[in-house]
Amino acid sequence: MELAEVEYKGSPSRSILRIYIDKPAGITHSDCARISHQVGTRLDVEDLIAGSYLLEVSSPGLTRKLTKPADYARYRGRLAKIQTRQPVSGSRSFRGTLRGIDEQGTVTLELKNETTIQIPWQTITKANLDLDF
């Protein structure tokens, strides 16, 4: 199992700690329950979070965020939406099929019109897998 993402939101008196876990075969309800129990117990014993909080453990879901370079290789062949900090080929928003990432950190995305675009990973501000209905 791997830690996919952690979010902590809210105020000190009322906050939510969200932990997203993943594994190649997919996450089950019992995986989430086990990690919730283990992490919750540890957080309570160590008293790492001041005030009350709600702990949520889940899978990143079908439209999971792509947060590290390895994600672009792992989900090669999947549909993705990508937003960039500055324009790349005149646009800051793209939707297409991931074709991978090279050693220099350039993400290749095949657009719907079958053209490919090269996007430097450092310019990506948001990326998620997408669904095609």
What pTM did the predictor assign? 0.80
CA–CA distances in Å: residue 102 to residues 69, 74, 77, 108, 115: 9, 12, 15, 8, 18
Is-same-fold flag (2-58; 69-129)? Answer: no
Q: Which CATH architecture describes the domain 2-58?
A: 2-Layer Sandwich (3.30)
pLDDT of residue 125: 97
The structural domains of the chain, with segments of one domain joined by +, span 2-58, 69-129
**Helices of type H across 1-133:** 29-46, 69-74
Per-residue pLDDT of 27-82, as tens digits, reads: 999 999 999 999 999 998 888 887 788 999 999 999 999 989 999 999 999 999 99
Angle made by CA atoms 124, 105, 20, in degrees to the nearest 5: 60
- Lowest mean pLDDT, pick from 8-12, 16-20, 77-81: 8-12
Q: Tell me which architecture the domain covering 69-129 has in CATH.
A: Roll (2.30)
